Structure 1
Amino acid sequence: MGYRDYWTEVATRAFSESLKAVSWDNWINIVVKILMPLLIAAALTWWAQTGVEYSRIVQVLLTLGITAIVAIIIFFTKMLTIPPKMHSETLALVPKEQDSEREAAILKLVQLRHDGVRHRNDGKKIEDEGVEWSEESLQWMEDVIATLTIISPAKAEMFRVLDTVPQARHRCLSDDKKFRTKFAMHDYRLVRLTEIADNLLNQS
């Protein structure tokens, strides 16, 4: 938001809140509290044809004048108090945006777990080196890391480094040692992703 736009919004809010403070914030109040008393006073004066009822008009005008002065004072007061209020409102929105982003990331992780299970099951049927499968597994891993980074860069880094990889929980048909190693790594990452997703869901 630019400087001019910012102060325009401040002035607009100050004007609106000052009118509301003196009950001039809608046409009904304006008609009932301003126009109707003026019309009644003018009608009485016209009918009486004397100077007596002019005092009624003076009273109405005096009341309107005082109310207008109060509204002006409130307006300038609001010009001073609204900027910090707007700042607080902006800060209050930040946690909500962060929570929304976190929830979206958790949902993405759950979806990636589903994709990982499907990809693991596809790997069980491969009988050769599984080059394409391995590339897709690597891309899946990068997607998980990117999503985890939104929630916790530390968790993402822990997921990236496997250390000792246990034997895969499922058997695959391929006899290629490199593929079997990659298959086991994918299966282990799937286990770790399930643990992370479960913990995040329990914290939500």
Structure 2
Amino acid sequence: HGVWLLLGIVIGKILLTTFCYGSGAQGGIFLPMLVIGAASGAFCESLFSSLSLISGDFTAQFVICAMGGMLAAAMRTPILAILLVLEMTNSFSNIYAIGAVTIVAYLVAELLKEPPIYDSLLQAMTGQSNLESVQTFFQTNVPVVATYTDIPLQDLPLPDGTLIVSIRRNGTYIVPLGDVRLESGDELQVSCERGKLKDAKMYFQSVH
């Protein structure tokens, strides 16, 4: 009965979480992921022990390893998943087991080419089918020698979708108007499309 109860908890939690987010209701998904992972680990341990494949002394290990694996597969952050589980358990005795499960879960999710859960939620909220076009931000400094200094911002050949949001020079913020010229050492806040983040960073670091 315990095995079937745990299986029901896993399936029910997945369905309820899917229903809540599909309905557009506000709420967190971090705790539901931990509950699904913990219930899945407890179910696997109960199933194996009922089949006499293992002893019944590994419930805690299965639970915490499954939580780490669930976080790594869903969020694509294996190191963060390991650290979170270790912080919650306040013990390093199972670090190797958690690390192994977490890395395997991450690789399986990557091979299946499933997007991270937060990317999927962002796509659902923005209604964009291509997450590469979602805007992101980064900070950079103008090199001492750069090709784009002494040129008005309106004449800069910035990559498509790239915009200088703010300029900080000698502790003072400057509004990035069209006639403003960048100087070496300026701190820039730049907005660009996620798919062109690498090109935008390379442009601002170019010195030739």
- TM-score in terms of structure 2 length: 0.25
Structure with more helix by fraction: 1
Larger Rg: 1
What TM-score, normalized by structure 1, do the two folds share? 0.26
